[in-house]
Chain A
Amino acid sequence: MLIFLGDSINLGVELVQETGELTPESFDHKTKIKNYWNPKLSRLDLAYPELMSQELKLDYVTLARGGATYAYSLRSLQKYIAKENPPKGSTVFLDTAHCGRAYLVDAGNMGIEHQVFWEMPATAKEQGRKEGFTIHESTLEMLDKPGVLEFLQRITPYYNLQALRHIRDTCKIHGYNFLFCEIFEGLYSGSLDMDPSPSKQIADLQPHEIFNSDKYKNNPDYRYGGHISVLGNQEIAKDLSAWYRENIC
């Protein structure tokens, strides 16, 4: 079983512009994606999780969501484990996301999560509307006050790094393999050198837990707009499948 965590890179966002819209009857997505996605904006059938699944002949699920961050990925994984209990030996792939995005939960409203995704410097409200997410009005009101976003911008990388490590530890205790895929942005490593605070220890991934390649970032053939092109998705699928065969099989 392959489990994919991350943001829009996992979903084939912008491939619609490159290749046209997905024909719904040609692709059965029901078992493959668990979170909100918009088939008019993304081509899940051309994204690397689908291609890897075909290459390795293994079932997969993607828990990704556009604009997601590590804290959101952690929450998605926890929910999925609680509900589906995937088997030991499953492999979790987490792709690079922007550490400056925030994911907030108002625990006081049990069952009504307040989820906010945004990328600085856009305001939460603007970003929320743009992405089509349902955001609780009271959350928006809180976030769009002076000083609030500035403070969140300071502290979200730390929480995201904690979530990254938490995902790794969760995989370990459930007997899942884990791979952090630095396939697009190197933002994981952007805030590691803050001794004496333990940022390095917080996200102390081992070399065998990180897949890093510059070739997707630097080759325009592998990029389309702000995302990965069809060719890029094929190349990532090939490389990650090779990693899987070498390290897991």
Chain B
Amino acid sequence: MLIFLGDSNLLGWELAEVHGNIPPTFDPEKDLFIDPIRRLRLGEGGIALCNRPDLAFPELLSQKLKQEYINCGQGGSGYSKALFLFQLCISKTKLPDDVTVFLGTTGTMRSHFVDTLNKSEFHLFNNHITSNNAEYRDTASKYDRNPELKRMLQVTSTWYNLQAVGHISEICKARGWKFLFHEILPEDAVSRVEYEDMAPMPAPRVFKTGIAQGKSTGLQNSCDYMQNLHLSAEGHEFVAEKLFHEYHRLTNT
């Protein structure tokens, strides 16, 4: 079983603009982990049409490895949100003993906040505070208009995101699951993992796919792997291929 954690890149965002909508033969939600709040948000329309999860690297890697998978990717997700969805997925899914968890790099300035007493979630994404819950949108809007609050959250979010990366890794280790923290976007994009040498935090070592350096032939550069702000179809194939080899190295197969 493979579990994928990360952001919109796991869902093939923006690929529909070039490759058209999801073919009717592919159920876009078949391998997607959808928590109850997200289900409310998706509504009857289901996953956004701009996504092409059938062309995204989780689907491609699953086919290559001939293993089932669960995609916990969510647009705008930071590491603390990935941890939240991972825990929810574990609690609501019967999982086998043999699991490999892939965590894709994303922005450490993104944040996920949970108000446990009022049962609401807030996100900090691209310097805006929003809420998933309709009844808390006004509250989120009030916070969004508070520059001091946003500054404080930006200063402190990295810490919680790094703790979340460490926690995901430790959950895997405690359960005997394999874990791979891997690069998706080039280092100079939002994916950069900052402050990784903030001792004594466990340095979140990232598996470099090489996507930042371009193809080994030197004829093409990393731009070929991008579709606007996300991975292109070629980029997804490249990442899937790299993760395929790294999986076999991890498992000695």
Interface residue ranges, A against B (CB under 8 Å)? 74, 78-79, 81-83, 104-108, 110, 114, 142-143, 145-148, 151, 154-155, 157-159, 161-163, 165-166, 169-170, 172-173, 191, 194, 196-202, 204
Partner of B115, one of A106, A107, A158, A172: A158
Asked if B174 contacts A169 (CB within 8 A), the reply is yes
* The 6 A-B residue pairs with the shortest CB-CB distance in the complex, in nearest-first order: A82-B200, A196-B36, A145-B148, A201-B91, A158-B114, A105-B159
User: Which residues of the other chain, B, contact A148 by a CB distance below 8 angstroms?
Assistant: 146, 148-149, 152
For residue B84, CB closer than 8 A to chain A, the reply is yes
For residue B163, CB closer than 8 A to chain A, the reply is yes
Q: Which of A74, A151, A158, A172 has the most CB of B within 10 A?
A: A151
For residue B95, CB closer than 8 A to chain A, the reply is no
Can you list 30 residue pairs at the A/B interface with Cβ under 8 Å? A79-B200, A104-B152, A104-B159, A105-B156, A106-B156, A107-B156, A107-B158, A107-B159, A108-B195, A110-B195, A142-B155, A145-B152, A147-B142, A148-B149, A151-B113, A151-B149, A154-B118, A155-B114, A155-B115, A158-B114, A162-B167, A166-B163, A166-B166, A166-B167, A169-B167, A172-B170, A196-B37, A198-B87, A199-B114, A201-B87
User: Which residues of the other chain, A, contact B114 by a CB distance below 8 angstroms?
Assistant: 155, 158, 197, 199
For residue B224, CB closer than 8 A to chain A, the reply is no
For residue B121, CB closer than 8 A to chain A, the reply is yes
Complex interface bits, B62-101 against A, C-beta within 8 A gives 1, otherwise 0 = 0000000000000000000001100110110000000000
Beyond A147-B142, A159-B160, A194-B119: 8 further Cβ-contacts under 8 Å? A104-B156, A108-B195, A110-B198, A142-B151, A148-B146, A155-B113, A169-B170, A198-B35
For residue B122, CB closer than 8 A to chain A, the reply is yes
User: Which residues of the other chain, A, contact B219 by a CB distance below 8 angstroms?
Assistant: none
Interface residue ranges, B against A (CB under 8 Å)? 35-37, 83-84, 87-88, 90-91, 113-119, 121-122, 142-143, 146, 148-149, 151-153, 155-156, 158-160, 162-164, 166-167, 170-171, 173-174, 194-195, 197-202
User: Which residues of the other chain, A, contact B118 by a CB distance below 8 angstroms?
Assistant: 154
Partner of A107, one of B37, B153, B162, B166: B162
In the docked arrangement, what's the CA distance between A155 and B163, Å?
Answer: 16
Closest to B155 in A: A106
Asked if B88 contacts A82 (CB within 8 A), the reply is no
User: Which residues of the other chain, A, contact B174 by a CB distance below 8 angstroms?
Assistant: 169, 172-173
Asked if B116 contacts A78 (CB within 8 A), the reply is no
In the docked arrangement, what's the CA distance between A9 and B88, Å?
Answer: 33
In the docked arrangement, what's the CA distance between A209 and B171, Å?
Answer: 17
In the docked arrangement, what's the CA distance between A196 and B39, Å?
Answer: 11
Partner of B195, one of A107, A151, A157: A107
User: Which residues of the other chain, A, contact B155 by a CB distance below 8 angstroms?
Assistant: 106, 108, 114, 142
Asked if B148 contacts A108 (CB within 8 A), the reply is no
Closest to A81 in B: B200
In the docked arrangement, what's the CA distance between A234 and B13, Å?
Answer: 61
User: Which residues of the other chain, B, contact A106 by a CB distance below 8 angstroms?
Assistant: 155-156, 159
Asked if B116 contacts A108 (CB within 8 A), the reply is no
